[in-house]
Structure 1
Amino acid sequence: MVLTFLGRSGDDPSTKECCYFWELLALALNDLVSQGLIEEEKMDSFNLPLYSPSPTEVKSEILKEGSFDIDALEVNKMILYGQPDPNELSLHNLLNDGGYAVARCIRAVTEPWLAGHFGEAIIDQVFEHYREIVGDRMSKERGEIVNITLSLIKC
């Protein structure tokens, strides 16, 4: 079995590589609260249950469960925007569009949760504002994600 999922490269669960895009989404939502477009009570009760594990945590859980052996485990960083490192996999040229593609990617993952909690009517505004925030950050810093890819063999 081969699995690929978002993770983080190190053991610190608060690193930028695993939570940064969610923090920018929180900024967009909070801005809409301050504009009166989202009710503060709805924002206070919203929880997006996401966790990005480290390779150490993934190995530990697989070994503890015991049904599979790890054939291979790879950690890959992908630059979504900013100055690419020539030694890393990069989507820089594909996603250098003022935040549009990043916003579409995050929207694909979160829209059902957001629409279910805040209502369909606000979704376009949330992601337009999110796109603006990401676009602004693109000129100042590098945004990247970490993928963990595993090849497992049934014991």
Structure 2
Amino acid sequence: MADPIVSVIAFDGISPFHLSVPCLVFGTDRTRLGLPRFDFRVCAMEEGPIHTDAGLTIVVPHGLAALDDADIVIIPSWKDLEDPLPATLTEALGRAHRRGALIVGLCLGTFAIAAAGLLSGRKAATHWAYTDRLQALHPDIAVDADVLYVDDGDIVT
């Protein structure tokens, strides 16, 4: 059986901390401890280096095409919370979701999933300081400010 494919979205202006969390969880081989191995991919929306909000520049090896066969897609954060999502990312997330990939939004990553239209009519969580903003921007979502996460089967926020 092939290793599950986990793709995480990196973008210009991302926090190295937010990107590092899925990298540590899924990108480190812990098979000696009896844990599963993952085919882990960091993906960017554009080719070329991206710049973090901490002044680091990183080269991301994969584009959004890596979402096309991912079992899990993680959006570890988001920026420009009120701006429309780039069409390429909206389409890639939609394809992955329709295909059955688990979509995961960590903290502000929920905003990207919402902007892609994948949370309409669903319950969701985000960082506690941004629950009111998420609800105002996306009134079609039942934002739960009292939980750490919401597992809605095919989407986790």
Determine which structure has the larger helix proportion and give its number: 1
**Structure possessing the higher relative contact order (Cα contacts under 8 Å, 6 or more residues apart):** 1
Q: Give the TM-score normalised by structure 1.
A: 0.26
Q: Give the TM-score normalised by structure 2.
A: 0.25
Q: Which structure has the larger Rg over C-alpha atoms?
A: 1
